[in-house]
Amino acid sequence: MNTIDPNWTVNSTSIRSIAQAIAALGGDSEALLRSVGILPEALSDAEARHPVSAMHRLYELAAQYCGEDIGLYTGRVDYISRLNMQLYTCGVCETFRDYLNLMPSVLHFAGDIGEVRIRREDERLRLDWLPLWEASARWRYQSDCLLTTSAAIVRSLCVRPIPVLRAHFSYPKPANTDLLESIFGCDLHFSQPRSSLYFDAASLDYRLVQLDSEWSMSIRQSTQHLFGEGEPDPVLRSLRNTLIKMLPAGGVTIDKTAAAQNISRRTLQRRLADSGTQFGQVLQELRSELALQYLSDERLSITDIALLLGYADHGSFSSAFKAWFGKSPREHRRK
């Protein structure tokens, strides 16, 4: 799309990352936020939404005061800001391939800015940044932010390092590429059709780092009572095990679930009927139990939880939660 839709929004985390980078580079982040119509105090609400047009204007002003590398610095902040979500997702994965299958949509966890897509090209994996607003591809800021965040995530996931083998950028070569080279290596190509990163396809089978901390304990506690020792029925135990690994990717259906279990839809339905239940009932029970567990962890925002449970947005999750428990997730967390 060549124009910005006035209804497009991003969440507070996306704006906070830019503001933090501005402040770290010596800029007046509060003044710049106000100049684009965003109140600094509004960013304390992680679920608040802000116009995409304001975000782009903030990047433009930040570049004037802090330099053209502002998107690279923002991407480093964004990686840490969203680390809670990454850790929970990794908690149900074993390999890099598993993680990619669960990788949450950028449109869902950040806002209406674009998508990251990964596909295989022979012996390499190609990660593409596809902005919603096509004109933004000619600017560095959002492209640099998303590629920096992506590279940091990929590097940190596995025991064996996954370096960037090659990087493409949709904008012209800047005068100074020192920071770009420090993040992405020396094989950089500019004025390309789209911004992309390339990785070795062999990394798909690399083992993820296994968390040995209260994080892993939280994740194990949130899942073991759902499909572990407490569930004697092997059909339900297997189904819940499959579902919890599929939820963060969204779009969970009985057909996709049956395929993940290497059985037909009819076979899955028959087995569930023999166990006295249905697919929708198991999915709803799993989501509601996980929702209570995740809400007890203040490190996760309500939007994070919505995505971990496979909902498209905060509103959809809130409506479901209210139907289950008679109050909103925010009200439950306060009490």
When pLDDT is averaged across residues 29-48 and rounded to a whole number, the result is 92
Whole-number Å distance between alpha carbons of 303 and 246: 17
Distances (CA, A) of 174 to 126, 177, 181, 192, 328: 23, 6, 12, 13, 48
pLDDT at 268: 93
| 4 — pLDDT class (breaks 50, 70, 90) | confident
Q: What are phi and psi of 268, to 5 degrees?
A: -65, -45
pTM for this model (two decimals): 0.77
pLDDT at 109: 65
pLDDT at 86: 77
Element (H, E) at 50: strand 49-51
Whole-number Å distance between alpha carbons of 47 and 233: 38
pLDDT at 226: 43
pLDDT tens sequence across 265-318? 999 999 999 989 999 999 999 999 889 888 887 777 888 888 888 887 788 899
Whole-number Å distance between alpha carbons of 153 and 144: 14
pLDDT tens sequence across 98-139? 888 766 665 566 778 888 889 999 899 999 999 988 877 788
Q: What are phi and psi of 118, to 5 degrees?
A: -120, 130
